[in-house]
Structure 1
């Protein structure tokens, strides 16, 4: 291989490197910024939607939407990938009187926390400073199940009553996957919209999963009344073993949120900003 050829290759690589660095120039001093370790904080607010045994399709008039709130952080690993963690709170509800299985007359409402860790993959590189940046994300975490039902004007926690004769786990795993898009409004602040689905490794988000139990095996009269509520609407009591829910698929909940992301940066960026703000004379 000739020296001339090697010099040509070296020149092309050098020009390519300079071009890449130029495309990724940071606003901090006009130089390329190493993205690793850059920290951002996030907050989101929106609605939560439940998908499970107590609804059998989308009912536009009775969606059972509840609020969802999230607080978290992004820790950048590469130009495109960040680790993310969040603490979230959500409320969902449903009533079978709006479904095809109205004769069971079951209902629930729950206000739950969850926490999750995962990865976010941006379409455009960090140093490109794209004003609009779509992204995908996924993660795993846990949520605390606390379904309640209203009887005679009072809300009762259902899990301790074992309304199906099952003592289920109240801290199941949750797998999260979604899509979003952010819009950079300033050097450090971005506003965006995010849609994510949360797949619960439990079918008891709504306290309903399999079949009606033998009422004699339930711990109290209250448990029996909340286990089978068909008589409240003039229907005959369900027989033990009749379908109360369907264990073929697990429950899930969907979030649609407006989100704000504020870039804190890392130590190197803080030094650059300090130099910019405090020039030496």
Structure 2
């Protein structure tokens, strides 16, 4: 499988490279972007809902005018709340969370047209991207009195700390993919508009995945995070063993925004005249 991927990548680079492209081989860009994050999971099922601001930094290496690799850092926050749902069952569950997101991604980007930052002949192009990222998250929820936030993973709200269970990991991987458009503004400065999803490999971005645990297993100050339902289903006033989330689907999150890109200038020398734009 790896050999096939490398072969396809090699063919793509070969097809995307011609004599004129040699001038853009290895050119580099630095980018700073602002935008927003949102997530999809048990506590939010709608796109572009419960959005929060975010920041992105990128370092892009252009292989040709059509393809390149982007190394980026993203910082933001995701959140969700059953109180915002239009589903009665969700509102009765009455859970909420917030979580900061820090991600590092390596993206393979493909321009639809030839594009080169600072070159008037190739001023804009739509593009698509996909890759792999690693990220850190840490879901939190407010105490019942609204005084402060508590980290949820150490509590093990669904019984992860009991009966041979183990806490979920706060570091995870995702597959990012999306689209955008990049446009030259002035010499060596461009702007990029982008949106993309992250398909994660965890169902605990929101600390909700499986079934209710028995509140009696927890310290008194932790029980409020285990079952916050308005009208519990069992006669004992709990939901022990009943569905709390849906562990058949993993959580997703999105990053949408714009980025200013700056061309990193090469040191000039007297020999290769073809380096000039």
TM-score (norm 1): 0.78
Q: CA deviation at 1:221?
A: 2.1
2:24 partner SS = coil
Identify the residue that residue 131 of structure 2 maps to in structure 1: 139
Q: Does 1:50 align with 2:48?
A: no
Q: CA RMSD in A?
A: 2.3
Per-residue CA deviations over 1:196-229 (Å, capped at 9, x if unaligned) read 11111101001111111122334x2233210111
Assess if the C-alpha contact under 8 Å between 2:32 and 2:260 holds in 1: yes
> Is the 1:80–1:122 contact (alpha carbons within 8 Å) kept by the matching residues of 2?
yes
**Can you list the C-alpha shifts for 1:124-161, whole angstroms capped at 9, x where unaligned?**
22467422211101111111121110112211111111
Say if 1:177 and 1:197, in contact at 8 Å, map to a contact too. Answer: yes
2:26 aligned residue? 37
1:110 corresponds to 2:108: no
Is contact 1:162-1:223 (8 Å) kept?
Answer: no
Structure-1 separation of matches of 2:264 and 2:45: 44
CA distance in 1, matches of 2:191, 2:46: 32
- Alignment correspondent of 2:9: none
1:180 maps onto 2:190 in alignment? no
Q: Number of aligned pairs? A: 239
* Alignment-derived partner of residue 221 in structure 1: 220
Instruction: Report the alpha carbon displacement of residue 82 of structure 1 after superposing the two structures with TM.
Output: 0.6
| Aligned mate of 2:151, from 143, 157, 160 | 157
Q: What is the alpha-carbon distance in structure 2 between the residues aligned to residue 203 and residue 176 of structure 1?
A: 16
Between the aligned partners of 2:67 and 2:91, the Cα distance in structure 1 is 46
2:232/2:239 contact within 8 Å kept: no
Are 1:198 and 2:198 matched, yes or no? yes
The CA distance in 2 between the partners of 1:124 and 1:50, in whole Å, is 31
Query: Aligned residue for 2:12?
Result: none
Partner of residue 271 from structure 1, selected from 263, 269, 275: 269
Distance 1:238 1:80 in 2: 58
* Residue deviations 1:68-120 (CA, integer Å, cap 9, x gap): 11001101122311111111111111110122110010000111211111211
**Between Structure 1 and Structure 2, which shows a larger proportion of helix residues?**
1
Structure 1: distance between partners of 2:95 and 2:154:
17
8 Å CA contact 1:37, 1:266 repeated in 2: no
1:146-196 deviation line (CA, Å, top 9, x unaligned)? 111011221111111111122101101011000000110123111121001
1 CA distance for matches of 2:157 and 2:23? 55
